[in-house]
Chains A and B, each alone.
Chain A
Amino acid sequence: MARTEPFQIRIADLRERYRPQREWAEGRGLLLILAHFFTGAGAGAWLFAVPLGSDTGLVAGFFLAVLGAVGHLFFLGRPERFWRMATRMGSSWISRGLVGLSLFLVTAFLYLALLFLAAHTTTLGSILLALSMLGALWTIIYKGFVWASSKGIPLWNTPLVPALYIAYALRGGAAVLILLAGLGIQLGAWEPLEPIKLWLAVSTAVLVLIYLEVMRGSGMTALRSVNLLLFGKVALPFYLGAVLLGLIVPIGIGSFAYLDHIPAGLLALVGLLSLLGDLSIIYCIARAGLYRPLPT
């Protein structure tokens, strides 16, 4: 007992109603948010980079996912025991996620090694690529279910959250490739991504609206959480990050791209802002999570 830390109990934690969750949003909890963002964007980038034939996109997707995995590891209270998390695949989404992410990272690394050695067109290369895509898809899907299976937080405990996280991961993946293209370090064809990205941005905006509207009618705690997002302490990152940077600006510039050619710098900006928006929405949803009132 060498270290003394300040008391972390706050007034809001001692009240009987609408107590905020802090463990997944504050302090080292921010690592979890970053980890979910990086793994989602990395896996999404990998999935888009394969059909586009973008080697740079593959490398970027892999390293983003590695960054996310490191974030996950350091978020844990006992990182040295992380391997134990693979033992409960039957019931725990974190277990399933660890297996999926491991599959993605291992097979993606081996495929990149073959790519480096120019031996990726072999049967082994095809198998590794297929497995890595399966792992990437698995990684994208599991994250939303981790949040949705949290019975304590009504804002997250809905099937809409996995749909939202999948949409944001795909959006993030497309944004990474667009960012690379804007920076001039994209080797493959990126033009098909622009309409996909715009479509993903528009559909994500619709999904966010549906999510907020559904949660407004899902009990008092969920309504309080939505009010926190729209009018409370989470409103600034929500409007500035998730809505303005993440939705309005990319949709606006993306729509303009249909009318006229946009310069590379603007393209990079669209990708960067989209990524910031993705990070913001994950943060905001985590931060607005409130526990059910006790007693009832």
Chain B
Amino acid sequence: MVIDLKKCIGCTGCALVCKAENATPPGILWLRVVKHETGKYPQVRRVSVPLQCMHCAEPPCMEVCPTGATFQHPNGIVDIDAELCVGCRYCMMACPYDQRFFLSAERTYFPGHTTPFEQAGYQRHQAGVVSKCNFCTPRLQRGLEPACVANCMSRARTFGDLDDSNSEVSKLIRDRAGYQLHPELGTNPSIYYLPP
């Protein structure tokens, strides 16, 4: 995935649609947008940076997982098998991007009341296990783009195959000097950012 920071307006629509698509419980934010200030006065700039699981090619979370609950799909997407997870949270400590979330107990948005949306959506989330963004794998299986990509109003997000040098994402990274977060850690994230 490529995120163009020049186009991102920081509306947090991607975070909202992520919650809607995946029905994540309160306190669980698979995607968030942080405001980042760069430069020095008077040349100061404020940039909105969406953050989510980087789907690293060399995921440290998968390496430390004691049960094999964290795994990589053949297409490179890093996912979690909730049935195997024991909730040790080792992966949360190993993730340099802090993009994993632990649901300690079942929670609802309204005290003592569960909406029909929650009743339907929360069946996908177990208490006592770790969860994270999976690039909307169920949508990908239906031939759709991840919800954050499909719903980005400024079209700041582009989804595609990084292994294909002719894909749009590869071209964008090449032409616009796309960069990864913390490349020095050797995790080789699959999300690239285009400079603002």
The residues of A with any CB-CB pair to B shorter than 8 Å are: 1-5, 7-9, 14-16, 19, 21, 23-24, 27-28, 75-79, 81-82, 84-88, 91-95, 98, 146-147, 149-153, 156, 289, 291-292, 294-296
Contact = CB atoms under 8 A, between A and B. Distances in A.
A181 B94 CA distance: 41
A92 B90 contact: yes
Contact of A146 (B26, B90, B96, B114): B90
Nearest to B184: A296
Nearest to A98: B66
B191 to A, nearest CB: 11
B90 A5 contact: no
Nearest to A150: B93
A88 B98 contact: no
Given A87-B67, A92-B64, A94-B66, A78 B85 contact: yes
Nearest to B67: A84
B109 to A, nearest CB: 8
B54 to A, nearest CB: 10
Contacts of A16: 34-36, 49
Nearest to B84: A84
B110 to A, nearest CB: 8
B77 interface: no
B27 interface: yes
A201 B60 CA distance: 35
B182 A76 contact: no
B63 to A, nearest CB: 5
Consensus secondary structure, chain A interface: loop
B159 interface: no
Contacts of A88: 65-68
A24 B94 contact: no
Contact of A76 (B49, B88, B98, B105): B88
A27 B51 contact: no
A213 B51 CA distance: 32
Interface of B: 26-27, 29, 32, 34-36, 49, 51, 60, 63-68, 84-90, 92-98, 102-108, 110-112, 114, 118-119, 122, 126-130, 181-182, 185, 187, 193
11 contacts: A1-B114, A77-B130, A78-B128, A79-B86, A85-B88, A95-B66, A147-B93, A149-B94, A150-B64, A152-B97, A291-B98
Contact of B107 (A3, A94, A146): A3
Contacts of A5: 26, 104-105, 107
B80 to A, nearest CB: 12
Given A3-B107, A76-B88, A87-B67, 12 more contacts: A4-B111, A9-B27, A77-B88, A77-B127, A78-B126, A88-B65, A152-B60, A152-B93, A289-B93, A292-B96, A295-B36, A295-B51
A1 B108 contact: yes
A296 B36 CA distance: 9
A75 B88 CA distance: 7
A294 B65 contact: no
B112 A4 contact: yes
A24 B66 contact: no
A84 B86 contact: yes
A290 to B, nearest CB: 10
A271 B119 CA distance: 54
A82 B86 contact: yes
B94 A152 contact: yes
Contacts of B97: 152, 294
A91 B93 contact: no
B181 A294 contact: yes
Contact of A151 (B34, B51, B185): B185
Contact of B89 (A8, A23, A292): A23
